[in-house]
Structure 1
Amino acid sequence: MIAPAHKLNARRLAALTATCALTSLALTALAACGSQSAPGAGSRDRTARTTVSAPPRPATLAPGPAGLTPVFKNAPRTPASTTPTVALTFDADMTADQGPRAAAGERFDNPALVRTLRREKVPATFFMTGRWAEEYPAQARSIGRDPLFEVANHSYSHYAFTDRCYGLPTVPASRMRADMERAFAAFRKAGVEHQVPYFRFPGGCYDKRSLRALAPGGVTAVQWDVVSGDAFATDADAVARQVLDGVRPGSVVVMHCTRSAAPTTERALRTIIPELRERGFRFVRVSEQIRAAGARG
């Protein structure tokens, strides 16, 4: 039986509507595929055009008189018309014989301090002993792979490189370079990537004998011009005041990241960082200060 004309028209209209819907869905799907593939291709093109340059080689100072290890204290004092810089440095101290104390629960690390530097985006240089890297390899690796930071050598054992240095045991001259190299080896084993060829003498004690002993290692000895006074301090405000009173353009500040020996340092940083920024200082790593001193590399 033939359907009435108005029913045929209704059927044709429904069929036409369905066809249009299917066509629209197909076009949408094709457009969606196109929109997904285009960014991918563009991303590949952008990736292909991007070149990743290696970080610059850390600057070092030329050897001192008679080929002795050069010593760096602070960068040149910049004129008022340029942005002043300051380098915060942190000694990660642990002597070769402090393992039992660490096993008993004494903390020679300070994760809160590292978190504060990261939160505030403050570059810093960590002078780490090899023994510290062995005790806290995960932390050493984390610090040494963070582009904010660089890791320098603070000896393996934190024994003195001169006689009569704050009561520290003394490394024989014949073992000084080996002690330094042992620390670098500990860093490599822990996975530290941002090592720099700088050495800080335990206690800051050095003489011509120790400078001569380390000279074949090609390092620059790094001292400081601002003592924070955080070692064994209990007053964070006093530490902050001492740093803020001492900082000048180009300064290198010595602090510690050892909870047991410097428990107030992280709290002091909460005052030091914003105040120095308010004064217009820019935080840099030691490598930048050395480069500003006209170093080679």
Structure 2
Amino acid sequence: MRLWFILVLLALASPAVTKDLREPRLTIAKGGSGHPQVALTFDACSGGVDERILKTLVDNRIPATLFVTRRWLVRNGPTVKLLAAHPDLFEIENHGSNHVPAVVGDKPVFGIKPAGTLANVRAEVEGGASAITADFGVQAGWYRDATARYSSDALDLIKSMGFRIGGYSLSGDYGATVPAAKAERIIGNARDGDVIIAHINQPGRASGAGVARGVLALKAKGYAFRRLDEVDTKEDDRR
């Protein structure tokens, strides 16, 4: 009885913002049993570039959608030039200016301080978009914030700004934290229509090697790879 009472008190004490967070789901049209397909999406939050993943994509002509932050673009000039040289492979989309969760309130999300206000959410989105236009000469159409969690009011704002929300259906590396073997297994077992999220900015972590191997495993199975800008998608913001 006492344990139950303590659990109730803890639940009541939880900040309201944690109950309101959304983790949007996104899938693409299925290719069917004979032509399965997935969308590879990679976050470039900060730091460097995982050449194990990037080289796999370029060498095997595998298209992908990259969600990049302004601060990552600033720090990785040579890679930006490489991406710009392969517009047929890489779709560049908005991951914000400084990798800030689109959450109104002051509760950290996975240890990251949120935007806090709608004005700050807008600034984060606009800063990322302008950086992409400056470096690539294109306008981003999708937005994915830091942590891929949002408060409902922030989601509404971002959509009103003309962006679609870059959700996902399969986490391939859990923020580049899992061992290589697990990342390889997760991605290698993706299903037809999955939108896979992984990270291309953590060259020092083991998971990147597994991500690359998992992608090649899908290729060997006959999977096709689609960018978000070239395939029908299904979005669900309710989860």
- What TM-score, normalized by structure 2, do the two folds share? 0.77
AA aligned to 2:152 is K
Percent identical residues: 21
Matched with 1:273 is 215
The answer for the alignment partner of 1:183 in structure 2 is: 128
For residue 263 of structure 1, report the CA deviation from its aligned partner: 4.1
Give the drift of 1:185: 1.5
The 3 A distance-change label for structure 1 pair 206 and 221 is same
- Which residue number corresponds to residue 58 of structure 1? none
Q: Deviations over 1:121-154 (max 9, x none)?
A: 1001110011111112332232134121011001
Q: 1:262 to 1:177 in 2, by over 3 A?
A: farther
Q: Which residue of 2 aligns with 1:153?
A: 94
Deviation per residue, 1:234-292 (Å, 9 max, x gap) = 621111012223x1111111100112574431x22442233212322101112223x35
- Does the aligned pair in 2 maintain the 1:144–1:195 contact within 8 Å? no
Letter in 2 for 1:278: A
Query: Following the alignment from structure 1 to structure 2, what is the Cα–Cα distance between the partners of residues 143 and 195?
Result: 15
Cα distance per residue 1:59-90 (max 9 Å; x no partner): xxxxxxxxxxxx6600134432x511111111
Greater Rg over alpha carbons, structure: 1
Which one has more relative contact order, counting CA pairs under 8 Å at least 6 apart?
2
Higher share in helix: 1
Distance 1:202 1:219, change over 3 A: same
CA contact (8 A) 2:94 2:125 kept: yes
Given candidates 28, 31, 36, the residue that maps to 1:75 is 28
TM-score (norm 1): 0.63
The answer (yes or no) to whether the contact 1:230–1:264 under 8 Å persists in 2 is: no
User: Equivalents in 2 of 1:195, 1:111: separation in Å?
Assistant: 26
Amino acid paired to 1:139: T
Q: Which residue of 2 aligns with 1:91?
A: 43
Which secondary structure does the structure 1 equivalent of 2:91 belong to?
strand
Deviation at 1:181, TM superposition (A): 1.1
Is this contact kept in 2: 1:154–1:202, CA < 8 A? Answer: yes
Classify the secondary structure of the residue corresponding to 1:186: helix
2:143 paired residue among 192, 199, 210: 199
Indicate conservation of the 8 Å contact 2:187/2:211, yes or no: no
Code of the aligned partner of 1:209: D
Q: Is the Cα–Cα contact under 8 Å of residues 66 and 93 in structure 2 kept in the other structure?
A: yes
Q: How many residues align?
A: 207
Within 1, Cα distance between the matches of 2:71 and 2:152? 26
Give the 5 Å matches for 1:98-247. Answer: 107-146=47-86, 147-162=88-103, 163-171=107-115, 172-189=117-134, 191-193=135-137, 195-233=139-177, 235-245=179-189, 247=190
Which amino acid in the other structure matches residue 26 of structure 2?
A: K
For residues 131 and 279 of structure 1, do their structure 2 counterparts lie closer, same or farther at Cα, with a shift above 3 Å needed? same
Give the aligned partner of residue 250 of structure 1.
193
Match of 1:104 in 2: none
Partner of 2:202: 259
Distance (Å, rounded) in 2 between the aligned partners of 1:86 and 1:176: 30
Moved more, 139-148 or 128-137: 139-148
- Separation in 1 of the partners of 2:143 and 2:233? 18
Provide the aligned C-alpha RMSD in A.
Answer: 2.3
